[in-house]
């Protein structure tokens, strides 16, 4: 059952990624060159809709949140390393398999590279665990907790900021 | 209905908003059915995939590794989710007739020429670097960028900022201001 639900959810996600054109190398790199905002329009729209629904369901007691710990050192260094690889590969883990499916054969090399990167991380993990990974751990926290405000204040602020950004991007034709 | 499914592209705001609804439904349905809410994510699957491949050659090595132990090397929800992405994109591209055989994308070609071998090397090296970074940061643009930010997680906002910062600086150095 678990596997079947995963497959179905992935199918719909892949369908939407493809229709939204975000699987393309030129869209991904176009964003990183700040010339094409397609992937951010797509991603921000999903996050805005998602945050409203997730917090509504959370407050209704239907779901629990699943946060990742705020390890500042690991996130900053790992995040920058991710960015370097992202700019070279032009794909991210989720989009690479979809890009291959729409005929972008070079994505296959990115997928193989990702498997090697994952294996390398597993080998180095014991060595990293005691240092980088434990630098500056603030635990599993949310923005509303950090700012001591209602989640709906944060959500409203994001919506206003994002809509402002969308209007700017459309005006500039990005 | 069929007409939209066959459309070559959808408005990115609409497609993105539908992903938001999908993400909410995924958590609600899996919480109800599996008793464990599944937030969308992809990069851990590459860890489990690498573990499964290594297991075929050196099972004891995988069993002894602390990272593989913590992620549990097995076929799970997320691995099928990633397989589903392939299937969904495959069907969408064929319905919309946007299948494109591509070995060297446009912006890459402008800068590095038409060599498929060079592009394959770039994709491979970039892929290895980005997955290493994603695991160190604890997620990728799906797990942190989308799922984490939907939950207003501090860690995910931080991760997304540094994903983009690293990517923008590297892209500028690598491709110049061009891409034209």
Q: Give the span between the Cα atoms of B180 and B170, in whole angstroms.
A: 17
Cβ atoms A76, B162 nearer than 8 A: yes
Question: Is B86's CB within 8 Å of A14's CB?
Answer: yes
Instruction: Give the closest of B80, B146, B170 to A83, CB-based.
Output: B170
- Nearest alpha carbon to residue B136 among A31, A96, A68: A68
Rounded to a whole number of angstroms, the CA Rg of chain B reads: 19
Q: Is A90 on the interface with B (CB under 8 A)?
A: yes
Question: Is B127's CB within 8 Å of A20's CB?
Answer: no
Q: Where are the domains of chain B?
A: 1-100, 104-180
**Residue A170, both tokens:** 């459309």
- Global pTM? 0.96
Which residues are A71's β-sheet partners?
A: A137
- The nearest alpha carbon in chain B to A62 belongs to B28
How close A8 gets to chain B, by Cα (Å)?
6
Q: Which DSSP string corresponds to A8-52?
A: HHHHHHHHHHHHTTTT-HHHHHHHHTTS--HHHHHHHHHHHHHHH
∠ at Cα B9 (B110, A95), nearest 5°? 60
ipTM above 0.85, yes or no: yes
Question: Is A66's CB within 8 Å of B162's CB?
Answer: no
- The nearest alpha carbon in chain A to B92 belongs to A15
- The nearest alpha carbon in chain A to B75 belongs to A3
The count of structural domains within chain A is: 1
Cβ atoms A43, B16 nearer than 8 A: yes
Tell me what pLDDT residue B178 has: 56
- Structural domain boundaries, residue A34: 2-171
pLDDT 10s digits, A142-173: 999 999 999 999 999 999 999 999 999 999 99
Q: How many residues does chain A have?
A: 174
Q: What is the pLDDT along chain B (180 residues), one digit of tens a residue?
A: 889 999 999 999 999 999 999 999 999 999 999 999 999 999 999 999 999 999 999 999 999 999 999 999 999 999 999 999 999 999 999 999 999 899 999 999 999 999 999 999 999 999 999 999 999 999 999 999 999 999 999 999 999 999 999 999 999 999 987 544
Cβ atoms B136, A81 nearer than 8 A: yes
């Amino acid at each position: 059952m678990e596997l079947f639900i995963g497959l179905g959810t992935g199918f719909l996600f892949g369908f939407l990624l493809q229709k939204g054109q975000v699987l393309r190398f030129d869209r991904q790199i176009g964003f990183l060159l700040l010339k094409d905002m397609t992937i951010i329009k797509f991603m921000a729209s999903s996050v805005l809709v998602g945050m409203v629904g997730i917090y509504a369901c959370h407050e209704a007691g239907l779901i629990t949140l699943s946060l990742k710990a705020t390890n500042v050192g690991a996130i900053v260094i790992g995040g920058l390393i991710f960015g370097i690889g992202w700019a070279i590969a032009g794909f991210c883990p989720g989009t690479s398999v979809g890009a291959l499916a729409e005929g972008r054969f070079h994505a296959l090399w990115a997928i193989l590279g990702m498997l090697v990167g994952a294996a390398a991380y597993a080998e180095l993990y014991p060595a990293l665990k005691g240092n980088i990974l434990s630098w500056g751990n603030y635990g599993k926290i949310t923005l509303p907790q950090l700012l001591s405000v209602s989640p709906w204040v944060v959500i409203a602020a994001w919506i206003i900021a994002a809509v402002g950004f969308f209007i700017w991007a459309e005006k500039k034709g990005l | 209905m069929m007409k939209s499914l066959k459309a070559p592209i959808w408005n990115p705001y609409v497609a993105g908003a539908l992903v938001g609804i999908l993400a909410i439904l995924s958590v609600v349905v899996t919480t109800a059915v599996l008793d464990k809410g599944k937030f969308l994510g992809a990069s851990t699957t590459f860890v489990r995939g690498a573990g499964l491949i290594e297991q075929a050659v050196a099972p004891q090595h995988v069993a002894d590794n602390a990272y593989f132990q913590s992620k549990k090397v097995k076929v799970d929800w997320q691995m099928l989710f990633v397989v589903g992405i392939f299937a969904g994109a495959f069907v969408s591209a064929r319905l919309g007739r946007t299948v494109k055989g591509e070995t060297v994308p446009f912006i890459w070609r402008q800068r590095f020429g038409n060599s498929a071998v060079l592009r394959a090397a770039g994709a491979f090296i970039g892929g290895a670097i980005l997955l290493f970074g994603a695991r160190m940061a604890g997620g990728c643009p799906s797990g942190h960028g989308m799922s984490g930010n939907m939950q207003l997680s501090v860690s995910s906002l931080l991760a997304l900022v540094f994903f983009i910062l690293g990517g923008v600086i590297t892209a500028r150095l690598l491709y110049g201001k061009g891409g034209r």
